[in-house]
Amino acid sequence: MREAVRRPRRFGGAVTPPGDRSISVRAAILNALAEGEARIANYGPGGDCASALSVLRGLGVPVESDGDGFVVAGGAIREPDDVLDAGNSGTVMRLASGLLASQPFLSVLTGDASLRSRPMGRVIAPLREMGADVRGRDGDRLAPLVIRGGALRGIRYRMPVASAQVKSAILLAGLSAEGETVIEQPAMSRDHTERAISAMGADIREEGLTLTLRPSRLRAVDVTVPGDLSSAAFWLVAAVCHPDAEARLLGVGMNPGRTGVLDALNAMGADIAVEHERVVSGEPVADLVARSSRLRATHIAGDLIPRVQDELPVLALAACFAEGETTIADAQELRVKETDRIHTTVGELRRLGADAHETPDGMRIAGGKALLGARANSHGDHRIAMMLGVAGLLAAGETEVEGAEAASVTYPGFWDDLRALAGDGERASARASVPER
């Protein structure tokens, strides 16, 4: 599918982003482990969230649709009679590995071609250390994964790289392990799992960057999923870079492990207001208002990287509109996402005329060079597809985004919301979708 996008005279309005993918997946998997039944409202609509439910159903977990969410009944996990498919979701693959490591049966976990090319060694290593038998392709590095679970023991594990997914897999396994499970993190990463299992009755404590979990039984807890900040980030960047814009993003999750994109944009001088702060289902939530801004270059690296990994492509786009040269470093993890996002982001921005260059662990972007509409390609990566859609709102002329359907992995309504924020009628920015030639 191809989308054609033009810069509107004015950009703005109010949008409620889709339910947070990370919280949705965790709420479903953790409640499947718990005692009782829970309703998950505003469950994420994307493919990753659907993959989580598919894996749970394959394990015999009762999951029923309920309006804008689902009801999950815990305590019914059984050996699957077929291969479990995590689709395109690294979150589902890694969290399900932690879940399955403690189950007394054999399971096989796979995904699409992209997911089968992404490294799984960092989640296999600690689960093996805990006593699970986990094997994979290419020297136990790639999916499909074959997992024979059973009795586990707690470990002290020093994570080589900050990763919420690996941390969550260890915590899921540690819930039923014998003895304490201690995780030492090198830097902060999103803490959705810790918040959720604490609310569900787990014996977990946090001291700085160290987590200590004792064996625990979870009780089911209803969850209302906040809006996804990673999805809202595309509209934040569109608004602060457009010369006449004001966009209001409603009900957005403000977990400290996720707000790195706001820190980065604020460092660039973005005019973003945080309003109506509250707590929903144990997670901080707020409304965000972004307005046209004069941006300056910044340096994104170090401990900030784990908190902005998903947003780095769209932050690179923002850098094109900042005065000076922005550098992104310590982001080599981007090379093993759905695409090599360093190479793909730089390549697609250069198609539009950006002054952008790859480095081994990031990129350099010199701002101030006007973007020009061109034919661009998502390469099947949802975040690249959405970044290019926003680029089309900011570039002169028409931008055609091939592979636009990739956005549906996390944000099925992305192109509809783009059209709504860009205006209707003569000011509409995107034509109806057309098949690729």
Structure letter (DSSP) for residue 84: E
CA 123-306-205 angle, 5° bins: 70
Query: Which positions are annotated as active-site residues?
Result: 310
Kindly report the backbone phi and psi dihedral angles of residue 365, in degrees, each rounded to the nearest multiple of 5, phi listed first. -130, 120
Q: Are residues 158 and 187 in contact, defined by beta-carbon separation less than 8 angstroms?
A: no
What is the distance between the alpha carbons of residues 165 and 167, in angstroms, rounded to a whole number?
5
Residue type, 330: D
Q: Which residues contact 424 (CB under 8 A, 6 or more apart)?
A: none
User: And the tokens for 251?
Assistant: 């009900």
Q: Which residues contact 382 (CB under 8 A, 6 or more apart)?
A: 46, 338, 406, 407, 408, 409, 410, 411
Closest CA to 232 of 69, 390, 362, 92: 390
CA 241-246-251 angle, 5° bins: 110
In the block, which residue shows the tokens 């209001």?
248
* Cis-peptide, bond into residue 144, ω within 30° of zero: yes
Cα 66 to Cα 42, 43, 58, 363, 428, distances in angstroms: 10, 10, 19, 44, 34
Closest CA to 199 of 182, 165, 178, 223: 223
Grouping H, G, I as helix, E, B as strand and the rest as coil, residue 301 is coil
